[in-house]
Chain A
Amino acid sequence: GIQVEQSPPDLILQEGANSTLRCNFSDSVNNLQWFHQNPWGQLINLFYIPSGTKQNGRLSATTVATERYSLLYISSSQTTDSGVYFCAVERSMDSSYKLIFGSGTRLLVRP
């Protein structure tokens, strides 16, 4: 099956710092989403981004489908950005809208 690898596995930032999270995937995809799981366990949609670049406030994401990776940028980080960031993909060959999740990047933003 498709492999989804996220890096780094853990990240500690000082408030105000910028960071880049990476997601590599091993096969063609027609869906890629970034999620934030906050400390209360809620899984929040950040981006639907199978290709191209999107921005939403301090967050932006870029997917280069031909090279099979996606990047999530967090600028001017805040303590509320803490939690686990997941990348999830749907393989192009799958008929079902089944997302395959990476193992996540655990982010801690210190005040």
Chain B
Amino acid sequence: EAGVTQFPSHSVIEKGQTVTLRCDPISGHDNLYWYRRVMGKEIKFLLHFVKESKQDESGMPNNRFLAERTGGTYSTLKVQPAELEDSGVYFCASSSQSSGNTIYFGEGSWLTVV
């Protein structure tokens, strides 16, 4: 069974540009999450989808961040325009009741804004 996959694994962009991160959850997982770890800080929750609906987006830092999950399968997280403080690792995760609510993480997308 394939795990949570994320693309791109690394991205370097200039301040003011746009970046879109993609996440493919484990097949059949209704719950999809985005987390991030900026340098020197803890891993922080961004938002949670149940299928295509946003269940909780309390962790989204500001309106430069837009997450979508059209059709309830893969998700995208767009940062526009990117700022220097957005640099860090963006993790996607998924879970389902059948997984015993264990949350499985992807390998992360490393974003560097210069």
Contact = CB atoms under 8 A, between A and B. Distances in A.
Interface of A: 31, 33, 35, 40-45, 48, 86, 88, 95-104
Contacts of A48: 100-102
B23 interface: no
Interface residues of B, number: 24
A97 B105 contact: no
Contacts of A42: 107-108
B72 to A, nearest CB: 16
B29 to A, nearest CB: 11
Tell me whether chain B's interface is mostly helix, strand or loop, or mixed.
strand
Contact of B45 (A40, A43, A98, A102): A98
A99 B42 contact: no
B110 A41 contact: yes
B48 A98 contact: yes
A43 B42 contact: no
Contacts of B95: 97
Contact of A31 (B101, B104, B105): B101
